[in-house]
């Protein structure tokens, strides 16, 4: 039975105080449809034993986004349960978030389209689809192609960052074989390694299953970031190795390189957003400084950790540890 309702709730739910006070509201109540949806959740339950917050959209007649927090009030005198429903009108912030999403999507399209044209056109010319090229012409076009690729990669990093910060970087946890995923990634990098004359090796885990619950797209991205960095900052004829092992309930992925290394001073800031070490800028001026920030975020969403050991001019080892027990896995398999 409705005992109290304030003026704002009357306006928001289009109900009159005189009409509603003392009324018992039923599920799908035809007379008070909006009030009914505030009281009953989607499972038609009236309310929980502890405070619960949920989102609700109603049309009165325009769209209104509401956040409903239902709090049970307990009384010692045996008066039974009472509930208070706090309604927050989130319409404006939802609209702003939606506009921002649309802006990011359109900006992505506007930036990616000319880059796609460059990519496909240069690739077609380099492949000889438009006639034979002199060696020197081909080399120049290959450099242009690589520069374009770096810009695409930068745009992708910025988009991922925007999504992550907007809470749009959804995580979907399911059972995957981490070892076969690493094998596939290494295969893709072997071409790159060959081109740069870097020895790339993979050390597999000892026999046993490497199946466990994680978000495969995100972990793949994190491993890509580590390998990409190792390849970029390791000079010609150097070595990069990746290993996977399982120890005491953890999957441990290490990427070791014989690259430029990281100074003690820079280690502390390495996982910060947009941070780039001076020696890294001199090797690769176009990096975004987002990769390790993203990788750390991804690993921590899995309740894992990421650490770096390094010596300047000798190389680095970046290690990701992921728990095999689903510490991070939410009940419905998704989280933001």
- Regarding 168 and contact with another protein (CB under 8 A), the answer is yes
Binding mask 258-297 for another protein (x = CB under 8 A): ----------------------------------------
Nearest approach, Cβ of 13 to another protein (angstroms)? Answer: 29
Which of 17, 45, 54, 109 is in the footprint of another protein by CB under 8 A? 109
Q: How far is the CB of 63 from another protein (least distance, A)?
A: 17
Residues 2-21 that bind another protein (CB under 8 A): none
Buried b (16+ CB within 10 A) or exposed e, 319-332: bbbbbbeeebbeee
Query: Between residues 56 and 108, which has the closer beta carbon with respect to another protein?
Result: 108
- According to the binding rule CB under 8 A, does residue 119 interact with another protein? yes
- Report the 3 state secondary structure along the chain: CCCCCCHHHHHHHCCCHHHHCCCCCCCCCCCCHHHHHHHCCCCCCCCCCCCEEEEEEEECCCEEEEEEEEEEECCCCCCCCEEEEEEEECHHHHHHHHHHHHHHHHHHHHHHHHHHHHHHHHHHHHCCCCCCCCHHHHHHHHHHHHHHHHHHHHHHHHHHHHHHHCCCCCEECEEEEHHHHHHHHHHHHHHHHHHCCCEEEEECCCCCCCEEEECHHHHHHHHHHHHHHHHHCCCCCCEEEEEEEEECCEEEEEEEECCCCCCHHHHCCCCCCCCCCHHHHHHCCCCCCCHHHHHHHHHHHCCCEEEEEEECCCEEEEEEEEECCCCCCCCCCEEC
Query: Which part of the chain contacts another protein (CB under 8 A), choosing from 41-49, 112-120, 135-143, 198-206?
Result: 112-120
- Report the nearest approach of another protein to the CB of residue 156 (Å): 7
**What is the nearest approach in angstroms of another protein to the Cβ of residue 32?**
32
Q: Report, in Å, the least distance between residue 223 CB and another protein.
A: 17
105 lines the binding site for another protein (CB under 8 A)? yes
> From the list 14, 133, 155, 312, which residue makes contact with another protein (rule: CB under 8 A)?
155
Minimum Å gap between C-beta 287 and another protein is 18
Q: Are the beta carbons of 169 and 336 closer than 8 angstroms? A: yes
Minimum distance from CB of 301 to another protein (Å)?
A: 16
Residue 113 lies near another protein (rule: CB under 8 A): yes
292-331: contacts with another protein (CB under 8 A): none
Footprint of another protein on residues 123-152 (CB under 8 A)?
A: 123-124, 127, 129, 152
Q: Does 116 bind another protein (CB under 8 A)?
A: yes
What does the binding site for another protein look like in residue numbers (CB under 8 A)? 101, 105-106, 108-109, 112-113, 115-117, 119-121, 123-124, 127, 129, 152, 155-156, 168, 170
């Amino acid at each position: 039975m409705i005992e109290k309702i304030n003026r704002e709730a009357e306006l928001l739910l289009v109900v009159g105080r005189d009409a509603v006070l003392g009324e018992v509201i039923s599920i799908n109540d035809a007379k008070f449809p909006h009030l009914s949806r505030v009281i009953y959740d989607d499972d038609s339950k009236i309310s929980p034993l502890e405070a619960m917050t949920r989102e609700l959209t109603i049309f009165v007649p325009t769209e209104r986004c509401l956040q409903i927090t239902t709090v049970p009030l307990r009384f010692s005198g045996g008066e039974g349960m009472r509930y208070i429903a706090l309604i927050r009108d989130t319409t404006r912030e939802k609209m702003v978030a939606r506009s921002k999403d649309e802006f990011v999507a359109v900006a992505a399209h506007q930036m990616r389209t000319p880059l796609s044209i460059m990519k496909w056109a240069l690739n077609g010319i380099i492949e000889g689809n438009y006639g034979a090229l002199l060696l020197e012409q081909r080399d120049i076009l290959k450099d242009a192609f690589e520069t374009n690729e770096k810009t695409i990669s930068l745009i992708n990093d910025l988009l991922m960052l925007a999504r992550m910060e907007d809470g749009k970087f959804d995580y979907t946890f399911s059972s995957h074989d981490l070892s076969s995923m690493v094998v596939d990634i290494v295969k893709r990098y072997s071409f790159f390694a060959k081109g740069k004359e870097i020895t790339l090796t993979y050390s597999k885990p000892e026999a046993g299953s490497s199946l466990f619950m994680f978000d495969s797209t995100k972990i793949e991205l994190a491993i890509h970031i580590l390998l990409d960095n190792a390849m970029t900052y390791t000079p010609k004829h150097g070595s990069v190795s990746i290993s996977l092992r399982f120890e005491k309930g953890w999957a441990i992925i290490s990427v070791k390189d014989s690259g430029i290394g990281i100074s003690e001073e820079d280690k502390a800031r390495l996982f910060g957003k947009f941070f780039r070490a001076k020696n890294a800028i001199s090797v690769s001026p176009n990096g975004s400084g987002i990769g390790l920030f993203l990788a750390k975020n991804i690993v921590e969403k899995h309740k894992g950790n990421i650490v770096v050991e390094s010596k300047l001019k000798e190389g680095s080892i970046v290690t990701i540890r992921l728990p095999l027990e689903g510490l991070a896995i939410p009940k419905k398999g998704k989280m933001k």
